[in-house]
Structure 1
Amino acid sequence: MNELESYIHHHFGISQDDCQKVSGLFKPEVIEKGNYFLRTGKFCNKLSFIESGILRVFVKLPEKEVTQWIGTAGYFITDLQGFMFRNTSRFDIQALTPTRLFTIDYEAYLTMGRLVPKWHEFEKLFTGKCFVMMENRIMDLISLTAEDRYQKLFEQNRELFNQVPLQYLASMLGMTPETFSRIRRKMVS
């Protein structure tokens, strides 16, 4: 069982046989460091599971870039709004490290319901998990202090602090690089 099959089986309770049917629709993809998974204004025609590597989801504003998410191994990556509703992407998604993915294109994604009869139940669960994750991020941004957001990210994804430029982490946490550095110095001492 590969990482994708293991994830699907563990998080959605799909049988091993159905996991193999689903994972068979995903194709290996490699993105070199600095290359893009998706560019703003392009149609998002793929959904990928990150096997290894780090991807940054961000938007370019006139005065700055804002990091929306840092995707790591064991997570799915796409512009969900673009993928599901066939809109152009609002985000750039760029590899911060060499990245290995399992990728399914939109047309293959649509065939899952025929291959796995219970797929639509699992799809609702997947979309629900994405929604809850975003709700939790929003709640953290509006209810936690900058120090608490920093500490939570550090506890959950300690490895990012050595692999991702700190200004990207600061942006994802909704703070300036200066505030991030001040908190980091305080936490280290």
Structure 2
Amino acid sequence: MDQLKRFLDGISPMNDADWRFFKSKLKEVRFEKNSVILQKGRVENYVSFIAKGMVRFYIPGEESDLTFGFLFENEFVTGYDSLLSGLPSEYQIETLTETLLWRISKKDLDEVYKKTVNGNIIGRKMAESMFLIKSKREISLLNQTAEERYLSLFRDRPNLLQQIPLKYIASYIGVTPQALSRIRKRIT
């Protein structure tokens, strides 16, 4: 939990009373590798901090999944659109490794926003960060070739390429695993 405190203090330091209140709302949740955190068709009710592990966002398909995001340690994970709208999620979130989360319910998070000095600042910064990641991904899909997306991924998030199965990376950049193999051969 100290890891989360340090992370939040880097965004907007919480005084001791606010931290104790926020901390009292958190639950530690552990997931095995390949566990579904958010099932397609279910409403998201939590915001979680990844203390250990990594997750992927994907749309399950009959023949193959469409991966559209990855998150790692020291990042927040949630089906944010479902959390905000109260509508069922159109995608799933799955662990790629054994994962430890610090989780807060939407109801408790709303209470933290109301009763703490800078809970809203932290929430806004988290939302802004998620928006920037999503925006950058959308722009890359519109403006870059698959090879350029792969190279950007390699430059921006090298941990992805070392820890995530290539079939998920291929799906993420919008190509088949065979096309990714050809791209990797060309650039090495």
Same fold (TM over 0.5): yes
SS class of match (2:158)? coil
* Structure 2 Cα separation of the partners of residues 20 and 144 of structure 1: 46
SS class of match (1:61)? coil
| Bigger shift: residues 117-126 or 137-146 | 117-126
Deviation sequence 1:113-156 (CA, Å, 0-9, x none): 23313323432332222112211111111112222211121123
* Structure 2 Cα separation of the partners of residues 164 and 55 of structure 1: 10
Corresponding residue of 2:12: 13
Corresponding residue of 2:124: 124
1:44 aligns to 2:44 (yes or no) = yes
- Contact kept, 8 Å, 1:32 with 1:97, in 2: the verdict is yes
- Contact kept, 8 Å, 1:5 with 1:20, in 2: the verdict is no
Query: Relative to 1, partners in 2 of residues 1:42 and 1:146: Cα closer, same or farther, differing over 3 Å?
Result: same
- Contact kept, 8 Å, 2:43 with 2:88, in 1: the verdict is yes
What is the CA distance between 1:178 and its match in structure 2?
A: 1.8
Corresponding residue of 1:148: 148
- Contact kept, 8 Å, 1:48 with 1:78, in 2: the verdict is yes
- Give TM-score, length-normalised by structure 2: 0.89
In structure 1, what residue type is equivalent to 2:181? Answer: S
- Contact kept, 8 Å, 2:50 with 2:72, in 1: the verdict is yes
Which 5+ residue runs of structure 2 have no aligned equivalent? none
* Structure 1 Cα separation of the partners of residues 69 and 84 of structure 2: 18
In structure 2, what residue type is equivalent to 1:71? Answer: L
- Give TM-score, length-normalised by structure 1: 0.89
Q: CA RMSD in A?
A: 1.9
What is the percent sequence identity of the aligned residues?
27
SS class of match (2:187)? helix
